[in-house]
């Protein structure tokens, strides 16, 4: 294993920018790593070797002529397969999009390109980002590098696993109900869901438009801040993109004092239903925060109890409409076009064949929730719960600077354990969903291994809308304090593959 | 609160253009019923005085200027088409007009 | 299918109408993306990720479309919403790339308005107030053409080809409240409403309003009830009635059809009906019994629209003079009868006449050209008057040449023909076609002599005082000069020669 692949993105960038190594070399060692371990991990759906090497050489040439496009220029990245990249296959983990090569770049990809970040390929995910384990990918599950018999979380299991397997130092995920944070928690990596509207959704194949948000996945808080800075900012192509200056997340990630910071523990997140080992690590962090001078208080957010229910009405409703376009007429899989079947039949056959069971389940659920006679009771009520949850956050942030909770109720479970039990699967997102419903931001970072299974535990930090800098401010302090306790980075304990 | 009949599920599948087998209809009728029972809890707190939220971040009047931007060439448009004929997408016969 | 005579149907039943008009806005770019909106162009070349509905693409609202929608609402005396949203109308159809239409549902931008329309009936001009329920924004669909089987028809087609150039062009849907108490005027009221709406939209300069190209499309909802106090009957929805004449005919037809059904004790079925221009009939389309459930919900990809009251008032100040008010003003200025004014309006010549007068032509001559020769040619060619390749300034030049004796009416018509065939400027046409009046007296006298020699009896008649006999000689001279003589001049020379006087 090359020493280069274990380094954080910041370190790699420093080496590349100082001319000690080239981006080409760094890219090459990561492609080699993918070659040697991805058969076991299955983090990637597509590896874009030639283009990656070509862009690495371009960055090297620019650096030689004195141009460093961004602080992460030359560092390779793994892209979740839900973001379009011109002429590169984009499947969203679905059979219905097999072979689709988008004719355009998503804004996130355009920004990565202009930052000189080298895109290695597309990572595996639950089909159309629906799932918490990556088992619902039509192309087979991704394995958790900490224990290959376990799930890497989902939907962005591929992106998170690629980091823990040292296949990439940076990755992009998308988070609709926890798809960045929960995989980060169970793979011992860092993941951030930025404020809704901070990162453009143009070219992000929509699951639930009002909840989706792309964000950084990394192995350190500072790496996440730099990647966050590279992809965030106003985009006129996305009507929901926020048109004001982003807070400076990079400055915030510089390990400063949290003396006097007010931190709220969410009463409703972290009690019954949370694994003992998860709660133990979490309680230790709470104590640590106190010892670092923060003021920690318990905050009640009573409406959070209804978040999961509201989410599983709003998401399926929006997704039933967003996924209607996949009908086999203009792109993607077409089934039954034999000259006898009508267009309606061909659409129905293509969708039945192209979508997996979880996608169908949610489409049916959403179709029901929006149908006449049920709209008010289901979709309408869910939207009211959304108002209540935002109010809980507002009330909380009037008292504290940030809120914290465990990211996920359990550590990584075994592949196959929950795949046929949708309700059990949905519970994985119980702590991450409120933030998506209210539109504010959150981070998950590793806080240790659970005693009972030696698997990573994640801490979630939640901050108000457009106060993403607070996530990094606190995250950097916790990371530094824990690393100094452990004497090493958390990721250094991941077993060799 | 929610008991979905097989007929209801068949109707939903038709609305959603999903050709489901009898077995699948049966399976989803049962499974969706369970999920709906669990999510119906939203009605407990959704009182009439609460304003529904469709967009988490409040914004209004996001417009673009009426300016022409480049379009795809016919070749680019056709690139992913399952069937393409005479510069257009070819689709199976349409039974009735909207 | 049985029909009841219209007059009898009206005696027995009271018609209730509802009109839904879709107007394509003439913005440069589409509703939610920067693709062009022009008619024509190769199929699928005015498309991009957004209007093709590619995965990941997102809509952004065209400011000009919102502005146009508000101006239309204000011109229709509507209230303008302080806050409203787009909604998704979900249904699968291959001409709709996203399989939902971005539209507005329970929060239209404009609502509660009216339009007063004048209807010319046997009993004189009556004014009807058509109440407007709402005017909302949405996007157009692509176009399917059906291949195989009977050409172009959907039934029996083997497959269809889709062009998405039209998909995403901004549409305003204008919906009336039920139009009541129109009785036998119903067909005329429907036609007059769409005609007035078309004039209004043209005056606002927000749409091409070309019904034949589909930039203004009308759906006619119609039901019958026993009398004006009975509850509404079941309605039919006749789609895509695409000319003013067809609107009148479709209303008449549906009244006769439904009356016959009710008379026979049958029930009118709630259904979509298709209008056939060729036969003047409607035929059954999809039954609405199994009503499509559109599952509307607020469009999450677009943020709400909240037009400030200042903006609305600013736009109110840009409204042109109300077309009806303008018509009365012009009629008074020109001093012409209701009948003559109606001729100008129904020929669609009002703006053209106004512009021609502005170019320096008298209102009599301007009306004469546009309603006479030019209307006839437009009609022959099946185009709108305004599409003819002739400008108000051309007409001014022609009038000047007539006044100066260079052209007569007949030659002027010849020049117009040349203009419409794009043969160049007026002077080029006159030269190329050899169109100048023979004003040389010697040549005319020679022609007169020749004509007189052929008809010696005429000389006698004229000298006896039967001056009308001169017509034959003038005719012969005109023929000999191939029309290039001034008839009055010929007559004058003839009488001079024969020593008679017209007095």
CB interface of C with A, residues 61-100, below 8 Å: 61, 88, 90, 92, 94, 97-100
**What average pLDDT score do residues C233-238 get?**
95
Residue A386 has its nearest CB partner, among B35, B53, B95, at B53
pLDDT computed for residue C461 by the predictor? 83
Q: Does the pLDDT of residue C140 top 50, yes or no?
A: yes
**What average pLDDT score do residues A387-395 get?**
98
Q: How far is A260 from chain B (nearest CA, A)?
A: 29
For chain B, the farthest-separated pair of C-alpha atoms sits apart, in whole angstroms, at: 56
Whether the Cβ atoms of residue C192 and residue C118 lie closer than 8 Å to each other? yes
Query: Tell me: the pLDDT tens digits for C284-293?
Result: 887 665 667 9
Whether the Cβ atoms of residue A173 and residue A93 lie closer than 8 Å to each other? no
The ipTM is: 0.96
Instruction: Verify whether the Cβ–Cβ distance B31 to A347 is below 8 Å.
Output: no
Query: Which stretch of A15-29, A387-401, C76-90, C109-123 has the lowest confidence by average pLDDT?
Result: C109-123
Residue A155 falls in the annotated catalytic set:
yes
Residue A95 falls in the annotated catalytic set:
no
Q: How far is C41 from chain B (nearest CA, A)?
A: 11
Query: Which stretch of A359-363, A366-370, A417-421, B62-66 has the lowest confidence by average pLDDT?
Result: A417-421
Whether the Cβ atoms of residue C4 and residue C190 lie closer than 8 Å to each other? no
Q: CA quadruple C42, C45, C51, C55: dihedral positive or negative?
A: positive
Query: Tell me: the pLDDT tens digits for A419-454?
Result: 888 888 899 999 999 999 999 999 999 999 999 999
Alpha carbons A77 and A59: distance in angstroms, whole number: 14
**What average pLDDT score do residues C197-208 get?**
93
**What average pLDDT score do residues A254-264 get?**
95
Query: Tell me: the pLDDT tens digits for C5-18?
Result: 999 999 999 999 99
Instruction: Verify whether the Cβ–Cβ distance C62 to B86 is below 8 Å.
Output: no
Query: Which stretch of A178-187, B2-11, C292-301 has the lowest confidence by average pLDDT?
Result: B2-11
Query: Which stretch of A121-125, C62-66, C388-392, C485-489 has the lowest confidence by average pLDDT?
Result: C485-489
Query: Tell me: the pLDDT tens digits for A103-160?
Result: 999 999 999 999 999 999 999 999 999 999 999 999 999 999 999 999 999 999 999 9
Residue A371 has its nearest CB partner, among C58, C61, C293, at C293
**What average pLDDT score do residues C353-382 get?**
91
pLDDT computed for residue C150 by the predictor? 63
Q: Residue A95 — very low, low, confident or very high, per pLDDT cuts 50/70/90? A: very high
Q: HSE, CB side, 13 Å, CA atoms: give it for residue C45.
A: 11
Count how many residues are written for chain A: 497
Give me the residue label for tokens 């293509």: A350
Residue A80 falls in the annotated catalytic set:
yes
Instruction: Verify whether the Cβ–Cβ distance A321 to C88 is below 8 Å.
Output: yes
pLDDT computed for residue B1 by the predictor? 44
Q: Which of A55, A106, A132, A155 is the catalytic position?
A: A155
Whether the Cβ atoms of residue C196 and residue C115 lie closer than 8 Å to each other? yes
Q: Does the pLDDT of residue B4 top 90, yes or no?
A: no
Alpha carbons C18 and C133: distance in angstroms, whole number: 10
Percentage with pLDDT > 90 across chain A: 96
Alpha carbons A256 and A10: distance in angstroms, whole number: 18
**What average pLDDT score do residues A214-222 get?**
98
Averaged pLDDT of chain B: 92
Residues of A with CB under 8 A from a CB of C: 83-84, 90, 92, 97, 100, 102-104, 106, 201-206, 208-210, 236-240, 317-318, 320-321, 324-327, 329-331, 339, 343-344, 347, 367, 370-372, 375, 379
Give me the residue label for tokens 């290695």: A120
Averaged pLDDT of chain A: 97
Q: How far is C392 from chain A (nearest CA, A)?
A: 44
- C-alpha pair distances (Å), A21 with each of A1, A13, A72, A229, C414: 17, 9, 14, 24, 84
pTM value is 0.88
Q: Are strands C271-276 and C281-287 parallel, antiparallel or unpaired?
A: antiparallel
- C-alpha pair distances (Å), B2 with each of A353, A428, A449, B48, C482: 28, 24, 41, 21, 90
Q: Which of A106, A133, A137, A179 is the catalytic position?
A: A179
Q: Does the pLDDT of residue C477 top 80, yes or no?
A: yes
**What average pLDDT score do residues C479-499 get?**
81
- Chains in touch with C (3+ beta-carbon pairs under 8 Å) read A, B
Nearest CA in chain C to A211: C300
């Amino acid at each position: 294993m090359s020493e280069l692949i274990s380094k954080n993105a910041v370190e790699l960038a420093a080496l590349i920018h100082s001319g000690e190594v080239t981006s080409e070399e760094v890219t090459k060692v990561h492609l080699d790593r993918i070659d040697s371990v991805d058969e076991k991990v299955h983090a990637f759906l597509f590896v874009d070797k030639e283009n990656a090497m070509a862009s690495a050489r371009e960055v090297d040439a620019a650096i030689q002529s004195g141009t460093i496009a961004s602080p992460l220029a030359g560092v390779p990245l793994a892209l979740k397969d839900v973001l379009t990249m011109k002429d590169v296959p984009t499947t969203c983990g679905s059979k219905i999009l097999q072979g689709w090569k988008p004719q355009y770049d998503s804004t996130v990809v355009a920004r990565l390109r202009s930052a000189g970040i080298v895109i290695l390929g597309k990572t595996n995910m639950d089909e159309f980002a629906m799932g918490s384990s990556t088992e619902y990918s039509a192309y087979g599950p991704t394995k958790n590098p900490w224990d290959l018999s376990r799930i890497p979380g989902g939907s962005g299991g591929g992106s998170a696993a690629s980091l823990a397997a040292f296949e990439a130092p940076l990755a992009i995920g998308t988070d609709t109900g926890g798809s960045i944070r929960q995989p980060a928690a169970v793979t011992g990596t860092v993941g951030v869901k930025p404020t809704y509207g901070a990162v453009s959704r143009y070219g992000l194949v929509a699951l639930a438009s009002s909840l989706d948000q792309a964000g950084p996945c990394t192995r350190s808080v500072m790496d996440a801040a730099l990647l966050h800075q590279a992809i965030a900012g106003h985009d006129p192509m996305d009507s929901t993109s926020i048109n004001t200056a982003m807070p400076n997340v990079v400055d915030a990630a510089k390990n400063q004092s949290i003396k006097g910071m007010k931190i709220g523990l969410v009463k409703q997140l972290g009690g019954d239903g949370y694994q003992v080992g998860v709660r133990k690590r979490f309680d230790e962090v709470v104590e640590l925060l106190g010892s670092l001078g923060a003021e920690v208080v318990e905050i009640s957010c009573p409406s959070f109890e209804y978040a999961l229910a509201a989410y599983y009405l709003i998401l399926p409703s929006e997704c039933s409409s967003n996924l209607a376009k996949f009908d086999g007429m203009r792109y993607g899989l077409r089934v039954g076009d034999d000259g006898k079947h009508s267009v309606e039949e061909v659409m129905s056959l293509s969708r039945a064949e192209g979508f997996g069971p979880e996608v169908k389940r949610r489409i049916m659920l959403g179709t029901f929730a929006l149908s006449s006679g049920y709209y008010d009771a289901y979709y309408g009520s869910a939207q009211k719960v959304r108002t209540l949850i935002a109010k809980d956050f507002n009330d909380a942030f009037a008292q504290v600077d940030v809120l914290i909770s465990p990211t996920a109720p359990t550590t990584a479970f075994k592949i196959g354990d929950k795949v046929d039990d949708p309700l059990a699967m949905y519970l994985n997102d119980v702590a991450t969903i409120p933030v998506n419903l209210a539109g504010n931001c959150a981070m998950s970072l590793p806080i240790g291994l659970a005693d009972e299974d030696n698997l990573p535990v994640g801490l979630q930090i939640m901050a108000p809308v457009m106060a993403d800098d607070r996530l990094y401010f606190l995250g950097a302090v916790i990371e530094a304090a824990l690393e100094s306790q452990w004497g090493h980075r958390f990721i250094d304990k991941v077993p060799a593959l | 609160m929610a008991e979905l009949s097989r007929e209801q599920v068949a109707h939903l599948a038709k609305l959603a253009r999903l050709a489901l087998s009898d077995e699948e209809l049966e399976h989803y009728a049962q499974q969706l019923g369970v999920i709906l029972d669990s999510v119906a809890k939203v009605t407990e707190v959704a009182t009439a005085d609460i304003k529904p939220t469709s967009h988490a971040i409040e914004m209004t009047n996001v417009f673009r200027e009426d300016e022409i931007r480049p379009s795809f060439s016919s070749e680019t448009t056709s690139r992913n088409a399952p069937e393409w004929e005479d510069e257009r997408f070819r689709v199976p016969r349409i039974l009735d007009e909207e | 299918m049985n029909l009841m005579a219209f007059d009898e149907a009206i005696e027995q039943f009271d018609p209730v109408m509802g009109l839904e008009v879709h107007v394509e806005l003439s913005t440069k770019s589409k509703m939610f993306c920067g693709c062009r909106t022009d008619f024509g162009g190769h199929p699928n070349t005015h498309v991009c990720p957004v209007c093709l509905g590619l995965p990941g693409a997102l809509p952004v609202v065209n400011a000009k479309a919102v502005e146009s929608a508000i101006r239309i609402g204000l011109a229709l005396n509507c209230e303008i919403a302080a806050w409203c949203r787009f909604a998704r109308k979900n249904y699968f159809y291959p001409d709709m790339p996203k399989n939902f239409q971005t539209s507005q549902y329970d929060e239209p931008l404009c609502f509660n308005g009216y339009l007063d329309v004048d209807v010319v009936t046997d009993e004189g001009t009556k004014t009807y107030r058509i109440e407007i329920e709402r005017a909302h924004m949405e996007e157009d669909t692509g176009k399917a053409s059906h291949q195989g089987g009977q050409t172009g028809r959907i039934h029996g087609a083997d497959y269809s080809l889709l062009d998405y150039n039209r998909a995403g062009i901004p549409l305003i849907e204008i919906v009336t409240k039920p139009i009541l108490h129109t009785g036998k005027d119903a067909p005329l009221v429907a036609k007059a409403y769409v005609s007035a709406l078309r004039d209004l939209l043209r005056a606002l300069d927000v749409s091409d309003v070309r019904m034949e190209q589909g930039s203004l499309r009308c759906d006619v909802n119609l039901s019958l009830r026993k009398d004006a106090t009975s509850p509404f009957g079941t309605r039919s929805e006749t789609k895509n009635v695409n000319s003013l004449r067809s609107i009148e005919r479709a209303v008449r037809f549906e009244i006769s059809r439904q009356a016959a059904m009710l008379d026979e004790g049958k029930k009118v079925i709630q259904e979509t009906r298709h209008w056939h221009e060729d036969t003047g009939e409607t035929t059954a389309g999809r039954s609405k019994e199994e009503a499509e459930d559109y599952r509307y919900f607020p469009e999450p990809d677009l943020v709400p629209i909240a037009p400030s009251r200042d903006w609305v008032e600013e736009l109110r100040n840009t409204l042109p003079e109300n077309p009806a008010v303008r018509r009365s003003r012009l009629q008074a200025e020109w001093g012409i009868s209701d009948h003559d004014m109606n001729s100008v309006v129904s020929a669609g010549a009002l703006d053209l006449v106004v512009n021609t007068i502005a170019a320096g032509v008298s209102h009599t001559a301007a009306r004469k050209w546009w309603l006479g020769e030019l209307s006839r040619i437009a009609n022959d060619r099946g185009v709108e008057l305004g599409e003819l390749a002739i400008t108000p300034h051309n007409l001014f030049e022609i009038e000047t040449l007539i006044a100066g004796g260079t052209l007569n009416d007949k030659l002027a018509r010849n020049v117009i023909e040349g203009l419409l065939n794009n043969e160049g400027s007026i002077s080029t046409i006159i030269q190329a076609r050899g169109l100048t009046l023979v004003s040389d007296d010697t040549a005319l006298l020679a022609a007169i002599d020749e004509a007189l020699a052929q008809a010696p009896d005429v000389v006698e008649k004229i000298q006896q005082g039967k001056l009308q006999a001169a017509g034959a000689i003038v005719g012969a001279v005109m023929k000999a000069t191939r029309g290039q003589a001034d008839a009055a001049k010929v007559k004058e020379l003839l009488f001079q020669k024969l020593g008679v006087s017209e007095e």
